[in-house]
Amino acid sequence: MTETVRERVDAAPAPQRPTASPEREPAQKKRRKRRDIGAAFGAVWIGLVVLGAITADWLPLRDPNEVTDVFAGPPSGEFLFGTDAIGRDVLSRIVFGARISMAVAIGATSIAMIIGVALGMCAGYFRGKVDAVLSLIVNFVLAFPPLIFLIALVTALEPGLLTLVVALALIGVPNFARVARANTIAFADREFVTAAKALGARPLRILTRELLVNVMLPVMSLALVVMATLVVAEGSLSFLGVGVPPPAPSWGGMLAAGRESLSEHPLLVLIPALFFFLTVFSFNRLGDWARGRVGRESSI
């Protein structure tokens, strides 16, 4: 199956550490420490973004849709990040825009995770026909050019946050299904499962009690990476004009609009770009850290 190759593609494993020779240790210890700092930063940043998204309404911010007559103004006392082309406060739009990015990232990932894990575990546990059908579905979704699918789907249904979340969730299901399946297979032979079977436990109980817990660890680390991808996807769709429609502020939309005046007012592009960068970086770092904690073999 193409599983083998794809797993190598997706796993892109953290480099296997050979038996360390003494003079190599300090360097590796340093690397481990740096990674921890990176992950810590990531956790803090994501926490801030999510907090901002949740509490946006109560923060002392201007209305993100309020137009003023300060067009494309530079950062000032009144507008900490400046204003956009029609005079709206960039800082406030960034904070409210975080809502869209986080809703899409976390919402779509959660849905994809639930569906994907359910499907993957069933395929991995029951094998046979169930497995064959699942792999067909997975390959089908992967063969369809994703961006075209997204654009067509969003054009078909009305562009909006819900459509976006559903569409991106659908694209994310195969990833979770594959990891869940692989881990279910890996764990299904273990003694505790055999023991449960011998005791007469029904499949559902085995799946939820014994296997789910073990499968969820690598799945969670994947989830963090998928969240990063979806933040980017939302931005790309807004950039192509099929994201969340105006006037809702979104980072991708701000980037697309700022591009028009790139040479005169680069800040309108650089600020949302910076937020994208830090958010995606944080998710990736957290994902790396989680994967490091869980161990390499679980990403097969």
Partner 1 sequence: MVSALRRRAGSVARFVLLVFLVTVATFLLLELIPGSPIDALLPQDATPEQIAAAREQYGLDQPIWARYLTWISSVLQGDFGRSYQTGLSVAEQIAERAPVSLELAFLAVFVALAISIPVGVWSAYRPGGLIDRVSTFVISATLATPAFVLGILLVYVFAVQMKILPLLGWTPFSEDPVEHIQRLVLPVLTLAAGECVLFTRLLKGDMMATLQQDHVLSARARGLPTWRILLRHALRQSSFSLVTVSGVVIGRLIGGTVLVEAIFSLPGMGTLVINAIHSRDYLIVQAVVLLTAVLYLLINTLVDLTYPLLDPRVRKVRTS
Partner 2 sequence: MKGWRRAVRATALLSAAVMAVAGCGSGGDDGGSSNGEPKRGGRLVYAVNVEMATFDPAFCAVQSFDRCSPLFGTLLRYDLERKEFVGQMAESFTTEDGKTWTLKLRPNVKFTDGTPFNAEAVVFNWDRIRDPKTLSPAAAVTVGMGWEAVDDLTVKVTLEKPNYQLPWALVRGLSAIGSPTAIKAAGEGVGNNPVGAGPFKLKKWTRNSQIEYERNPDYFEEGLPYLDELVVKVIGPDDQRLNALRSGEIDVDWSLLTKDAKAMEAEGYNVLRVPLIGGTGLQFNLADPVMKDEGLRKAMAMVFDSAQINNAVYPGDPPVDHFLPPGAPERDDSLGKFPEKNLEEAQRLFDDYLRRTGKTSETVTFTCYAGIPALEQVAQLLQSQMQQIKGLTFKIEAVDGATLSTRSRKREFQTIMGATLSQEMDRLYDVFHSKGSLNVMSYANPVVDEALELTRSSNDPEEVRKAYAKAVGEISKDAPLRTWRYQYGHLYFDDDVKGVVLAGTNSGASAYWQYAWKD
Interaction between residue 262 and partner 1 (CB under 8 A): yes
Pick 67 or 130: Cβ nearer partner 2: 67
Pick 170 or 248: Cβ nearer partner 1: 170
In the list 47, 145, 246, 295, the residue contacting partner 2 (rule: CB under 8 A) is: 246
Pick 188 or 242: Cβ nearer partner 2: 242
For the chain, give the secondary structure using H, E and C: CCHHHHHHHHHCCCCCCCCCCHHHHHHHHHHHHHHHHHHHHHHHHHHHHHHHHHHHHHCCCCCCCCCCCCCCCCCCCCCCCCECCCCCEHHHHHHHHHHHHHHHHHHHHHHHHHHHHHHHHHHHHHCHHHHHHHHHHHHHHHHCCHHHHHHHHHHHCCCCHHHHHHHHHHHHHHHHHHHHHHHHHHHHCCHHHHHHHHCCCCHHHHHHHHHHHHHHHHHHHHHHHHHHHHHHHHHHHHHCCCCCCCCCCCHHHHHHHHHCCCCCCCHHHHHHHHHHHHHHHHHHHHHHHHHHHHCCHHHC
Interaction between residue 143 and partner 1 (CB under 8 A): yes
In the list 61, 85, 91, 185, the residue contacting partner 1 (rule: CB under 8 A) is: 185
Cis link prior to 247 (omega < 30° from 0)? yes
Pick 48 or 86: Cβ nearer partner 2: 86
Interaction between residue 208 and partner 1 (CB under 8 A): no
Interaction between residue 189 and partner 1 (CB under 8 A): no
End-to-end CA distance of the chain: 14
CA distances from 21 to 25, 35, 142 (A): 7, 21, 42
Interaction between residue 149 and partner 2 (CB under 8 A): no
Interaction between residue 148 and partner 1 (CB under 8 A): yes
* Least separation in angstroms between CB 66 and partner 1: 27
Give which of partner 1, partner 2, none residue 278 binds (C-beta under 5 to 8 Å, depending on kind): partner 1
* Least separation in angstroms between CB 96 and partner 1: 20
In the list 201, 240, 270, 278, the residue contacting partner 2 (rule: CB under 8 A) is: 240
Amino acid at site 114? I
**Candidate segments 3-11, 98-106, 114-122, 242-250, binder of partner 2 by CB under 8 A:** 242-250
Q: Which residue ranges make up the site for partner 2 (CB under 8 A)? A: 65-67, 69, 71, 85-87, 155, 159, 240-242, 245-247, 256-257, 259-260
Q: Which residue ranges make up the site for partner 1 (CB under 8 A)? A: 1-9, 12-19, 24, 27-28, 30-31, 34, 38, 131, 135-136, 139-140, 142-149, 151-153, 155-157, 182, 185, 228, 231-232, 235-236, 239-240, 252, 255, 259, 262-263, 266, 269-270, 273, 276-278, 280-281, 284-285, 288, 300
